[in-house]
Amino acid sequence: MFVTYILSQIRAYLRYRETVRELSQLGDRELSDLGIVRYDIHNIARTSAAAA
């Protein structure tokens, strides 16, 4: 059970990092088209990782 928890936390962290990386590569115009401002990237990634 403990190992399952640790693995799920690692997967969530990897999803978080991937989301941050992908959104950070977008330009301000592309982020704006998505309704995202640059300083919200980490919050969006954290929410996305927790929801999956």
Q: How many angstroms from the chain centroid is the CA of residue 3?
A: 23
> What confidence tens digit (pLDDT) does each residue in 4-51 have?
999 999 999 999 999 999 999 999 999 999 999 999 999 999 999 998
The predicted model scores a pTM of: 0.87
31: number of Cβ within 10 Å = 16
Mean pLDDT for the chain? 96
* Cα–Cα distance, 23 to 30 (Å, whole number): 9
Q: Identify the CA nearest to 20 among candidates 52, 43, 42.
A: 42
